[in-house]
Amino acid sequence: MAYPSTAQRTKALRQLRAIRETLPDTNERPSHGAPSFFYKDKRCFLNFRDNHHADGCLAIWCAAPPGAQEFLVDADPEKFFRSPYVGHRGWLGVMLHGSIDWDEIAGIVEDAYATVGGQVIETERLTLRPLSRDDLEPWTRFMLDGDARAGLHTPQPAADAVRRSRASTGSSRPPRCTRSSSASRATRPASSASCRGRWSGATSSSSAGC
């Protein structure tokens, strides 16, 4: 198949740019000598490759959802290929020769955007989102409340989360812990002492039933 003409290559890049403009928080800038699309100017999700190293291909290299590269390359190896350099990360190569289904290309570009954008969003959520009381296990929340009552140091922002939670619920104290009375301790079964004796190496007959 003949290599696309200058007019066809220009049209292909124009079509790709039109698709990119529909995607929020994206921009274009050169990367490794090729027009490239970025999410929030941080993560590249597509490269436009015009005869890269004289390989005779007009194509895009783009991020793809897990498993998409293998599936599409197996289904149509004349159109899809494993991208050089970044193929091990699941990136997909798509030929732009001959008749091009731009609806299909738009879907592939949107998938690339969603793949990289989702990774950035998840990273920002994990690294930048403040810790809240809801992130803590119930027992951890109770222990933090107990430290606050006792005047112990509670790391920020957990202490702020505790204070915000109390203010929102109108409660100034956490639930009280029910402690065993001396009477209940006195009536504790003798088997507990036998269990302790067994683990300390004792060989009394009472330990056999633990």
Instruction: Locate the domains of the chain by residue range.
Output: 6-128, 130-169
Residue 102 has pLDDT above 80, yes or no: yes
Triad 33, 94, 52: Cα angle to 5°: 30
- Separation between Cα atoms, residue 57 and residue 97, nearest integer Å: 8
Name the most confidently modeled range: 76-90, 108-122, 164-178.
Answer: 76-90
Lowest pLDDT segment from 73-82, 113-122, 140-149: 140-149
β-strands 80-82, 34-39: how paired?
Answer: unpaired
The reported pLDDT for the residue numbered 80 is 97
pTM over 0.85: no
Please enumerate in sequence order all residues whose Cβ is within 8 A of that of 9, keeping only pairs 6 or more positions apart, or say none.
50, 58
Residue 124: CB atoms within 10 A of its CB come to 12
* Both structure tokens of 141: 């929340």
Q: What is the pLDDT of residues 167-205, one digit of tens each?
A: 555 544 444 444 444 444 444 444 444 333 333 344 444
Alpha carbon 55 to its chain centroid, in Å, reads 35
% of the chain residues with pLDDT over 70: 57
Q: What is the pLDDT of residues 41-66, one digit of tens each?
A: 999 999 999 999 999 999 999 999 99
CB 45 within 8 A of CB 39: yes
The reported pLDDT for the residue numbered 179 is 46
Annotation: CATH topology of 6-128: Aspartate Aminotransferase, domain 1 (3.90.1150)
* Both structure tokens of 121: 């969003």
What is the DSSP annotation of 60-74? EEE---TTHHHHHHH
